[in-house]
Amino acid sequence: MPTIPSPADSARHAVGCIQPVLLRGRVDHIDGATGELLHRYTTVHEPGGVLPVACKTRRASRCPPCAEVYSADTYQLIRAGLTGGKGIPDIVATHPCVFTTLTAPSFGPVHLCREKDGRLLRCRPRRRAQTCPHGRRMSCPDRHARDDTRLGEPLCPDCYDYTGSVLFNACAPELWRRFTITLRRTLARRAGMTNKALAAQLRVSYAKVAEYQRRGVVHFHAIIRLDGPAGPTTAPPAWATVDFLTAAIAQAANAVQLQTPAAAGLPARTLTWGSEHDARPITTAGELTDTRVAAYVAKYATKAAECTGTLDRRITPADQLAELPVREHVRRLIAACLRLGNLPGLEDLRLAAWAHMLGFRGHFSTKSRRYSTTFIALRAERAQHQRETATMDSLWPTPDDDTTLVFAHWRFAGRGHTPTTPSSEASARPGIPSPGPTEGDQP
Ligand SMILES: [Zn+2]
Ligand SMILES: [Zn+2]
Ligand SMILES: [Zn+2]
């Protein structure tokens, strides 16, 4: 029985991956009618006896090549929801659709990069600035460029509300969930309908992405679209305009709130969105185009908290807080997570486990069911393409008909590169340590 060179030649794209998953096993093609073994692929003949498969992480800090693929898929997925394509009808482009940003409230003044007409403005010029109880003036006359290391640093770290900041991060996903519910109810009320009557005419679809601000708090960018009752294939009623949607978003964002759990020495707090939320229509031409929005979301989809200068891994009991290679502001945020994580009453927020994420434990990008196509569909399309290419190269046999049965037996054999993996990365960087679990990721 000849060995087919590589079934998972479709897995050859793991070549670019810097932390591939190593699999050991085989794939058998069996004739369903006769039971004859048509082809067998086994990893025995692969270098090191294992098959490297791409890690498929979305995080650029962990594997840039795989994050690139994820980013490209995100772009396709977001764009299809705006203009159609990938199985989404083109008519979706005519549906009311806005790009909205929901920010966190202030937890104390921080250094800011402020620009107007391409010119840098002063950070916080205050002629009669107050002095805080720690003797620090609450003003800053400097002009901070975008790469200034002071951006996001509090004017007074001792006044800054670190507790509020990490509680907000921990509760932000729930605040978003309540926002989506409130938005549907607000739309119904503004239309003079019951929620049920609205749902029979209108469906709200969205895709959102979380972004860490320099001050270490998350905010959300979201595409929100109105469809007819069956999703993108059906038109919403004529009265459901962009203005109607924009007004409802503002009302819902102002109305939504949640109470944090009370803990010993820490009374419950009411969390809301910051006052600076906006919603702008997405158009095919002009400032906020579909391609721009899709590129923007795709960019943030591959980033996480590390952009604020925190750690890209969980914090363990062995870590000395004072020795972590992080900014002082981030160290205080992590300290707040560890401190609050121990308080009875706050267990559900799991702040200690998510201290490296500054309290946020949600998904970085989420979408409603009918927003667009799915990552699974996009990956299947790519895999199909790779199979077809491989078939042409006669590397991967085409099952003649659907009576061919395919049995795969795979076992996890480790992570990283085998010394002989055909990758320049591998030869240049042998023994790359395997990273921790990719928590917070979603497919
Ligand atoms: Zn990878
Ligand atoms: Zn400043
Ligand atoms: Zn102070």
Token output for 394: 């006669």
3-state helix, strand, coil in the chain (%, to 5): 35, 20, 45
pLDDT of residue 59: 81
Which of 2-16, 200-214, 368-382 is predicted most confidently?
Answer: 200-214
How far, in Å, from the CA of 234 to the mean position of ligand 1?
38
Tell me which of 11 and 63 has the higher pLDDT: 63
Counting ligands in written order, the one closest to the CA of 109 is 2
Spatial distance between the Cα atoms of 225 and 220, rounded to a whole number of angstroms:
16
Residue 434 DSSP code: P
Cα of 297 from ligand 1 centre, angstroms: 20
Q: Which residues pair with 28 in a beta bridge?
A: 40, 407
Instruction: Work out the average pLDDT over 211-228.
Output: 92
- Give the residue, 351 or 375, on which the prediction is more confident: 351
The string of pLDDT tens digits covering residues 72-104 is 888 888 899 998 988 889 999 999 999 999 999
> Regarding predicted confidence, which is higher, 275 or 188?
188
Distance 330 CA to ligand 3 centre (A): 17
Q: What is the pLDDT of residues 148-181, one digit of tens each?
A: 989 999 999 999 999 999 999 999 999 999 999 9
How does pLDDT run across 112-132, given as a tens digit for each residue? 998 988 899 999 988 888 899
Could you count the other beta carbons within 10 Å of the beta carbon of residue 317? Answer: 5
Task: Give the number of other CB atoms < 10 A from CB of residue 436.
Answer: 11
pLDDT tens digits, residue range 402-422?
A: 566 777 788 888 888 765 444
Least confident of 199-203, 213-217, 275-279, 383-387: 383-387
Among all bound ligands, the one having the nearest atom to the CA of 138 is 3
Distance 140 CA to ligand 3 centre (A): 14
Q: What is the pLDDT of residue 62?
A: 82
CA of 139 to the centre of ligand 3 (A): 12
CA–centroid distance, 119 to ligand 1, in Å, is 40
From the CA of 133, the nearest ligand is 3
Measured in Å, residue 416 CA sits from the centre of ligand 1 at 9
- Tens digits of residue pLDDT in 327-356: 899 999 999 999 999 899 999 999 999 999
pLDDT of residue 371: 86
Whole-number Å distance, alpha carbon 155 to ligand 2 midpoint, is 7
Read off the amino acid at residue 378: L
Ligand of minimum distance to the alpha carbon of 145: 2
pLDDT at 2 over 50: no
Q: Is the dihedral of CA 322, 328, 329, 330 positive or negative?
A: negative
Extract the tokens encoding 11. Answer: 């897995």
What gap in Å lies between CA 168 and CA 103, rounded to an integer?
A: 11
pLDDT of amino acid 325: 87
In this prediction, residue 163 carries a pLDDT of 96
Q: pLDDT tens digits, residue range 189-218?
A: 999 999 999 999 999 999 998 888 899 999
117 contacts 156 by C-beta, under 8 angstroms: no
- What pLDDT score does 390 carry? 55
SS3 call for 389: helix
What tokens were used for 270? 């009411």
Distance in Å, CA 153 to ligand 3 centroid: 13
How far apart are the C-alpha atoms of 273 and 280, rounded to whole Å? 18
Which pLDDT score, from 0 to 100, does residue 15 have? 65
Confidence of residue 434 (pLDDT cuts 50, 70, 90): very low
pLDDT for 378 equals 83
Q: In terms of C-beta density within 10 A (0-12 exposed, 13-18 middle, 19 or more buried), how is residue 381 classed?
A: middle
Q: What is the structure's pLDDT at 5?
A: 37
What pLDDT does residue 70 have? 86
Q: Place 393 in a pLDDT band, splitting at 50, 70 and 90.
A: very low
Residue (of 67, 69, 45, 64) closest to 432 by Cα position: 64
d(CA 177, CA 189): 19
